[in-house]
Amino acid sequence: MAVAPARTAELSHAERIRSVVAAADSLSLTTPGASYDLMAMHTVENGRLTLRVPDDTPLAAEMVCAPRGALGALVEFTDIAPVRARDRIRTRVTLSGWLSPSGRRHGNVVILGLDPARAGIQWHGRVQHVALDAVFSAEPDAIALQEAAMLGHLDDDHRDVVALLARLAAPEVRRGVVDVRPYAMDRYGFTLRYEYAQGHRDARLLFPAPVRDAAEVGVQVEALLAHARHCRGASRP
């Protein structure tokens, strides 16, 4: 059966943190002096979060004035579902620690590195603290960088595929549903969001085998579709 319990074949919290950070194009930064919303200014180099900050910005000025050359920082990432769905915030990741210059510059851009002291993730409504060594040793999910584009394409152009996949959920999940959205995807499979007149519910659809990269997703989706077509007694949502 393709439907799995919510905790079967899931990414670890450390993998999820690395995936969110790798795929994000923005973050919120809070320092002792101010709060900043930074767009397309971060990268991850050798497992370390770095910020590319123009030297004529308030953040760069605050960094220059930081005592002992380090600035206390709270970095927050918000992972939002890339499709129209109820409650689109999937995950929040926080990293707290110290920002300091890396010693490198690119023209008028200074490179700051975060030395984290703590990592946390809000997942299914609960905040979990994750050991830093686990975060550092984890890798982003195999399709983290492609997930948003693939889900958006599926939701915009292949609603028939979503409807067929939705047949794989248990009858009690499908009963009374008014819409289904491809809410998330990782190397293990899909999470579909079933929306009702009031409320919503998620179902996990596992691939027959975990994918190693985005090129393998199509084969696994076809296997799920073949299973859905042959499910006797399954009704469309």
CA distance 6 to 203: 7
pLDDT tens profile 126-164: 999 999 999 999 999 999 999 999 999 999 999 999 999
Residues of the chain above pLDDT 70, percent: 94
What's the CA gap between 16 and 1, in Å, rounded? 25
Q: Is the pLDDT of residue 171 over 70?
A: yes
Q: Within a 10 A sphere around the Cβ of 144, how many other Cβ atoms?
A: 23
Q: What is the pLDDT of residues 50-78, one digit of tens each?
A: 999 998 999 999 998 888 889 999 999 99
Contact 185, 81 (CB under 8 A): no
Long-range own/partner contacts, residues 158-162 (CB < 8 A, 24 or more apart)? 161/221, 161/225, 162/192
Average pLDDT of the chain, as a whole number: 91
Q: What's the confidence (pLDDT) of residue 231? A: 72
**What is the pLDDT at residue 8?**
55
Query: Taking residues 173-178, what's their average pLDDT?
Result: 94
Give tens-digit pLDDT for 88-124.
999 999 999 999 998 888 889 999 999 999 999 999 8
Confidence of residue 237 (pLDDT cuts 50, 70, 90): very low
Q: Where does the pLDDT of residue 28 fall: very low under 50, low under 70, confident under 90, or very high at 90 and above? A: very high
Which one-letter amino acid corresponds to residue 193?
R
Residue 30: pLDDT over 50: yes
Sole residue written with tokens 């409807």: 163
Q: State the pTM of this model.
A: 0.89
Which tokens go with 106? Answer: 């690119």
Residue 40 burial by Cβ neighbours in a 10 Å radius (0-12, 13-18, 19+): exposed
For 226-230, what is the mean pLDDT? 88
Task: Report whether 129 contacts 119 (CB < 8 A).
Answer: yes
Model pLDDT for residues 196-207, shown as the tens digit of each residue: 999 999 999 999
The pLDDT value recorded for residue 95 is 97
Task: Locate 235 and state its tokens.
Answer: 């009704």
Kindly state the average pLDDT of the residues 160-176: 93
Q: In what order do the strands lie in the sheet with 189-196?
A: 3-4, 200-206, 189-196, 177-186
Distance CA(140)–CA(20), nearest Å, equals 8
CA distances from 95 to 1, 18, 37, 50, 115 (A): 38, 11, 15, 12, 9
Cβ–Cβ under 8 Å, residues 200 and 193: yes
